[in-house]
Amino acid sequence: MCLAVPGQVVERWADRAVVDFQGNRAEVSLQLTPEAMERDWVLVHAGFAITRIEERDALETWAYLRQIPAAEVDDAAGMPATDEVPHDAKR
Amino acid sequence: MTRNASPAAKAGTQRRGAEMAPVASGAVSPAFAAELAGVHDLAARIGRQIQLMEVCGTHTVSIFRSGLRSLLPPNVRLVSGPGCPVCVTAQRHIDAAIRLGTIPDTLIATYGDMVRVPGAMGSLQEQRGRGADVRVVTSARAALHLAGLFPDRHVVFLGVGFETTAPATAAVVLEARRLGIGNFTVLAAHKLVVPAMLALLAGGRVRLDGFLCPGHVSIITGADAYRPVVERFRMPCVVAGFEPLGILRALSALLRQVQAGAARLENEYSVAVSASGNQVARRLIEEVFETAAAPWRALGEIPESGLRFRPAFRSFDALERFGIVLGEDEDHAGCRCGEVICGTVLPTECRLFGSVCTPLRPLGPCMVSSEGTCSAWYKYGTPPAARAPALEAV
Ligand code: SF4
């Protein structure tokens, strides 16, 4: 439950952003990483970016994440759960 | 996501009793092989039995999934500590959540695995079958969003998790206050990792040679958070990311310390973890919560190991709002989760493991969460090296 998943900030407005997780996008809070800019890579846990990381490190992490069940990665990133009312991710 | 799990990962979740191929993709990289050779070399030179503890469910799962455990030298044993937030949530908090769910017009929002944790009156999932509105969310913000969508209902968010997760809870509580959302409260059951590590060492029930410290918790707390563990108990601490190679590097670093008779703090995950952590996140936690004694599943109360609302935020405390007093824990007789998460007993030493208690019908929280030690052993099998019953408990 402490897994964090790297994604790339695609678009940011105020302290929110659309983050791309290797093709899947979700709305993420940048409240904990106000320094993160568009195109930066961040580690996301439960819908919040918790730190910025380098692209190279992010891609290395993805090489490992591809081997683990997608559902666990989705949960960690904060992708809306099935019985959760979708939040306004795709504006 | 539409991505498919790799065949190896799928096989790993289906096969029982079969250790996965070392490093799930099949081939071991040259860097991994070199690091592993170094680990074997160090272990041989140390000679004696070495016991290291990981205190992060994400590490536990990564270690099993990659087959790392079976590749380690026979005298290096990894034990899992209290690193799975679901497993350490006290039964009394589950029971309180279930009682909150029986109050008319309440809606319980919680992270996935929590719905299956058995309490004295069954699980939240069973309560849902009896008509309670229990919803799984993957972020605290989604729970707050539910409060906006259902203004006539009261949304209680089950706030569990370690330092990685607590800032999100603090952030949404502040947002609820800013937006004047009155139908949102939190059952605050967040836990802090370092006090649990200290309590484990002070209890003296398990002999350890070092800690593999959690990566994502440390992003928030900073690596310096482990200094008390190093200084008070002369215990080597190495922060590690969750990828197998990173874990192996951290194990190497721990063994080098053991061999040299040193006790230092090292950070093998500096790409993400700084010495002092995420200041914004730490300030948010500080603003909303204060540390307090907290009940851990089967470990009892540990001083300063939990977060409770500061007085200014008491109106967001679900227990206060609905006048609920936490009860006592009556864990399932025979379940040895408490010993499992202290590293003194292996899941296979529990009589109920795999026969009565399985991931489909879990009796204890260690079997519920995918990061729980019992569940990891069930899914990924029990390598012969780790099967020896004589764990080095004092
Ligand atoms: S196998 Fe089940 S009953 Fe036994 S310790 Fe683990 S969770 Fe508890």
Q: What is the DSSP string of B184-198?
A: EEEEE--B-HHHHHH
Examine residue B123 and state whether it is found in any structural domain, yes or no.
yes
Examine residue B80 and state whether it is found in any structural domain, yes or no.
no
- Predicted TM-score (pTM) of the model is 0.86
Same domain, B90 and B185: yes
Q: Using alpha carbons, select from B394, B302, B349 the residue that is nearest to residue B88.
A: B302
Question: What torsion, rounded to 10 degrees, do the Cα atoms B197, B198, B204, B210 define?
Answer: 60
Please write the tens of the pLDDT for every residue from B154-198: 999 999 999 999 999 999 999 999 999 999 999 999 999 999 999
Examine residue B41 and state whether it is found in any structural domain, yes or no.
no
Q: Domain tally for chain B?
A: 2
Examine residue B1 and state whether it is found in any structural domain, yes or no.
no
Same domain, B358 and B381: yes
pLDDT at residue B317 greater than cutoff 50: yes
Examine residue B352 and state whether it is found in any structural domain, yes or no.
yes
Spatial contact of B162 and B111, defined as CB atoms under 8 Å apart: no
Examine residue B206 and state whether it is found in any structural domain, yes or no.
no
Same domain, B373 and B290: no
Shortest CA gap B123–chain A (Å) = 18
Shortest CA distance from B272: residue in chain A: A53
Spatial contact of B128 and B115, defined as CB atoms under 8 Å apart: yes
Same domain, B94 and B141: yes
Query: Coil, strand, or helix at residue B87?
Result: helix
Structural domain of residue B362, as residue ranges? 337-386
CB contact under 8 A, B370 and A72: yes
Query: What was the pLDDT predicted at B389?
Result: 37
Query: What was the pLDDT predicted at B192?
Result: 96
Rg of chain A in Å (alpha carbons):
12
The shortest CB-CB distance from A53 to any of B8, B112, B271 is to B271
When pLDDT is cut at 50, 70 and 90, the band that residue B214 belongs to is very high
Same domain, B317 and B345: no
Examine residue B220 and state whether it is found in any structural domain, yes or no.
no
Cα–Cα distance, A29 to A16 (Å, whole number): 5
Look up residue B4 and give its two tokens. Answer: 């498919």
Q: What is the DSSP string of B315-349?
A: GGBHHHHTTPPP----PPTT--HHHHTTTSS-GGG
Same domain, B125 and B185: yes
Query: What was the pLDDT predicted at B11?
Result: 36
Same domain, B294 and B345: no
Same domain, B93 and B179: yes
Q: Hey, how many other C-beta atoms are within 10 angstroms of the C-beta on B303?
A: 12
Divide the 91 residues of chain A into consecutive groups of 10 and give the mean pLDDT of each group: 88 93 92 95 94 93 82 74 44 30
Beta strand ranges found along A1-91 (DSSP E): 5-13, 16-21, 24-29, 41-45, 48-53
- Mean pLDDT computed over B114-123: 86
Q: Hey, how many other C-beta atoms are within 10 angstroms of the C-beta on B216?
A: 27
* CB-based contact, A14 to chain B, within 8 Å: no
The mean of the pLDDT values for chain B is 87
- For ligand 1, is residue B374 a contact (CB within 6 Å)? yes
Same domain, B316 and B346: no
Taking the centre of ligand 1 as the mean of its atom positions, its distance from the CA of residue B178, in whole angstroms, is 43
Query: What was the pLDDT predicted at B27?
Result: 60
For residue B112, what is the domain's CATH number? 3.40.50.11740
Same domain, B347 and B292: no
